[in-house]
Amino acid sequence: MNIHEHQAKQLLKKFGAIVPNGEACFTVQEVLEKAKKLNLKKYVLKAQIHAGGRGKAGGVKILDNLVDLEKAAKDLLGKKLVTHQTGPNGKEVKRLYLEEPSNIKKEFYLSCLIDRASSKIAFISSDQGGMDIEEVAKKDPSKISTIKINFSDDIKDEDCKKIVQNFNLDDDANLKCINIIKSIYKTFISTDASLIEINPLILTKENNIVCLDAKISFDDNAIFKHPELLELRDLNEEDPTEIEASKHDLAYIKLDGTIGCMVNGAGLAMATMDIIKLHGQEPANFLDVGGGASKEKVSAAFKIILSDKNVKGILINIFGGIMRCDVLAQGIVEAAKETKIDIPLVVRLAGTNSEEGKKILDESGLKIISASDLGDAAKKIVKQVK
């Protein structure tokens, strides 16, 4: 789960990190009221969407007065902001963050994430932070350093020193930076985060260290431990079909192709997507119905796949282990009738009671194309959608 910049900053502040003062706003009026309260010489207005690259796309504005601020707020609210992270359709701006401006002397990059390969926590840092960090990573990766630390409740001073080393700060700023790193680490551990990214972390002209941007992603598998974080979820930022799928305990990710897939098991789902591509077509989704797919679950899965207008055919690929193929076939038949499927449906069943399952499909009166194995299934569905 991801949260907005203003929420991430509030959370970091709670754990002791230094962030600029600011207020989240949902209307132009609110922006003006809160601006009057903050009473600043200049204002920073930032579009709140779950994507970076806002600065380059016009989503971060520095305004000199309330008239310009009002204009900028009107312009940004409701706008579809297209950044290099949103995809071509962009994301609609539904909330803004009004913030005090910082006097930037230097921009750094700092992030903290889980390094699964080494089972450690990695801190990534660079003195070339800011809006071009992707370019730096591509062209001059030596400018980016990674420090891996062993998991524990606190981060050691010696590790902090290694992380801040290439920022080349004076003693005073170094200490401030180490304190921020400790706060970030505390936030990371306490909230079961999978990523905290501060880009830019800045050195101000007043020699302070401030988190000027913040992104936090949480581990979905641990979110049940943090009901207070779940309240920060913004469903506007999530794909509606993926939200619907999660209600039915289906693992669904929408993709751009034309062949809908319904599969049990994540590995089999990956293999099914691969073999569709091998035969020259693109999958419309990843969908794992899980081990114990009931009729209700299969029906919900059909509805979700069919709600994607790009889908021209569906491939069902089931390996019956604990799940019996005859029970599943019954579910497919009932769900297919209920949802009145009118696009080609290819089904491959293998494993427990697969013969009984095929018989149910054959006798259902539905136009279901049966396949003998995975390759055969992929060929058949690809032929159908062509």
Give the residue numbers annotated as catalytic, written as ranges: 109, 197
Our CB check for ligand ADP shows the closer of 47 and 284 to be 47
Our CB check for ligand ADP shows the closer of 90 and 351 to be 90
Q: What is the distance between the alpha carbons of residues 385 and 367, in angstroms, rounded to a whole number?
A: 15
Query: Per CB under 6 A, does 4 bind ligand ADP?
Result: no
Q: What is the distance between the alpha carbons of residues 1 and 220, in angstroms, rounded to a whole number?
A: 6
Choose, by CB under 6 A, the member of 38, 40, 53, 143 that binds ligand ADP.
53
Q: What is the distance between the alpha carbons of residues 147 and 339, in angstroms, rounded to a whole number?
A: 53
Tokens of 4: 């907005």
Q: What is the dihedral sign for C-alpha 241, 81, 85, 180?
A: negative
CB of 213 to ligand ADP, least distance (A): 3
How many angstroms separate the Cα of 358 from the Cα of each of 13, 355, 368, 370?
59, 5, 10, 7
Which residues ranging from 19 to 48 are in contact with ligand ADP (CB under 6 A)?
A: 20, 44, 46
- If one counts every other C-beta atom within 10 angstroms of the C-beta of residue 371, the result is 22
Burial of 165 (0-12, 13-18, 19+ CB in 10 A): middle
How many angstroms separate the Cα of 134 from the Cα of each of 84, 140, 213, 339?
11, 10, 16, 45
Choose, by CB under 5 A, the member of 5, 99, 213, 288 that binds Mg ion.
213
Which residues ranging from 82 to 141 are in contact with ligand ADP (CB under 6 A)?
A: 99, 101-102, 104, 107, 130-131
User: Residue 102 binds which entry of ligand ADP, Mg ion, none, with Cβ cut-offs from 5 to 8 Å by kind?
Assistant: ligand ADP
C-beta nearest to Mg ion: residue: 213
Choose, by CB under 6 A, the member of 4, 9, 50, 54 that binds ligand ADP.
54
Sites of contact with ligand ADP (CB under 6 A):
20, 44, 46, 52-55, 60, 99, 101-102, 104, 107, 130-131, 199-200, 212-213
Sites of contact with Mg ion (CB under 5 A):
199, 213
